[in-house]
């Protein structure tokens, strides 16, 4: 075998080894977690959520998913975010959709109050409709973040928080009395 042929074989083996190595690295970095893929798709398919205050990773994620479910008109997905099993989650989700679905399709600002280690009050400001909605997100029965869905009465679900400022961040993201 000549020197040129040996050099080609060595170069070919190196290229094959590099391709296999890159394939292994790419496979190791690829996420097969369906939740992560769904979240990335939802994130890119919706208007960015504006944030005021100091959310935790969990409180921010559940608020984003709440707004996305409202914007998509998906009562089942919204009810699936409930912090507790049972109760009026389905009725509350339908009420929230009727009241805030249109506004959730536009620009939304979430004002996070207090610290969010286990529970956080959030006020959603729907720019298109001028509406406000306060909600509580917390760690639920399954140790995952969820939203409290306990407003089976449509009038209660539509009620805008009188204590919340007219604009996000006007009270320094602190609950009344703090």
List, for residues 95-143, the tens digit of each pLDDT value.
999 999 999 999 999 999 988 899 999 999 999 999 999 999 999 888 8
- Residue 127: what pLDDT? 96
Is 96 within 8 Å of 81 (Cβ atoms)?
A: no
CA atoms within a 13 Å half-sphere pointing along the CA-CB vector of 3:
0
pLDDT of residue 7 exceeding 70, the answer is no
Is 123 within 8 Å of 133 (Cβ atoms)?
A: yes
> Phi/psi of residue 123, each to 5°?
-110, 125
- Residue 73: what pLDDT? 96
Using CA atoms, how far apart are residues 16 and 28, in angstroms rounded to an integer? 18
Using CA atoms, how far apart are residues 125 and 85, in angstroms rounded to an integer? 27
Whether pTM > 0.85 for this model: the answer is: no
């Amino acid at each position: 075998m000549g020197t040129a042929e040996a050099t080609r074989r060595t170069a070919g083996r190196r290229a094959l080894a590099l391709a296999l190595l890159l394939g292994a690295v790419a496979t190791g970095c690829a996420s097969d977690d369906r939740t992560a893929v769904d979240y990335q798709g939802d994130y890119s398919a919706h208007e960015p959520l504006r944030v005021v205050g100091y959310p935790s990773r969990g409180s921010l994620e559940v608020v984003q998913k709440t707004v996305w479910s409202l914007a998509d008109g998906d009562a089942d997905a919204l009810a699936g975010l409930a912090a507790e099993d049972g109760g009026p989650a389905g009725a509350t989700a339908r009420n929230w959709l009727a009241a805030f679905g249109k506004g959730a399709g536009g620009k939304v600002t979430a004002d996070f109050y207090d610290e969010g280690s286990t529970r956080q009050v959030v006020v959603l400001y729907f720019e298109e409709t001028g509406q406000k909605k306060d909600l509580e997100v917390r760690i639920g029965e399954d140790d995952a973040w969820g939203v409290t869905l306990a407003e089976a009465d449509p009038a209660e679900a539509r009620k805008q928080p009188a204590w919340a400022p007219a604009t996000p961040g006007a009270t320094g993201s602190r609950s009344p009395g703090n």
